[in-house]
Amino acid sequence: MGRRKLKKFSENATRTNVIQSGKELFQKVKGNWGALYFKNDHPVVLELGCGRGEYTLGMARLIPENNFIGVDIKGDRIWMGSAAADHEKLNNVGFLRTQVQLLDDFFGLDEVDEIWITFPDPRPKKSDIRRRLTNSRFMEIYRRLLKPGGRVHLKTDNEQLYQYTLELVTGLPGIERLQCTEDLYQSTLINPVLAIKTHYEKKFSNQGFAIKYLTFVFR
């Protein structure tokens, strides 16, 4: 492992806005994000596979009355988001270093208000369907963690993932207020939060890919 990566990991270990293995809060935060971390009872919003945390940070700037948690397993990526949050003194931001399939270990039933999945790896191979963040197994995790009426968002440039998710969601029980578009920036759904652009979205847009979006709530 290179020196730069080791330095980032060392800094993550001392940052209060990074919750990871080895820290006391890592074992205690489930069901207690408001009380133990944010010190308030504001809505909790997750970004899964947050990478550098660009979307998490963008939402936190726009909606200071909500609490935002970026989730990713890559410590060097989380380092970037946590450094920016520290620099900007964004107290409504936290970063959880874990795998998405372990969300049940860190969030209690009905603890989350919204979940954002922004430009995930589309996992195009059929053998990788179980790893797609919008497959049925993950959807059941999201249903458990979200409050009744909790919302899920997907932004992607990938047509296959978009169509796969749309077909899956359409067949799930208890889905309401489904909205979707194959070209977000030409649709009536666009708003300041949806207009946040990560590094990858800018890259895909510049290559001519239309941005797909869908959202729904669990009853």
Cβ atoms 52, 81 nearer than 8 A: yes
Report DSSP letters for 14-61, one per residue: T-TTEE-TTSHHHHH-TT-IIIIIISS---EEEEET-TT-HHHHHHHH
Tokens of 35: 């009380």
- How far apart (Å, rounded) are the C-alpha atoms in residues 82 and 94? 7
**181 closest CA partner among 166, 191, 202, 170:** 166
Q: Which of 104, 105, 110, 121 is catalytic?
A: 121
113 catalytic, yes or no? no
The residues carrying an active-site annotation are 121
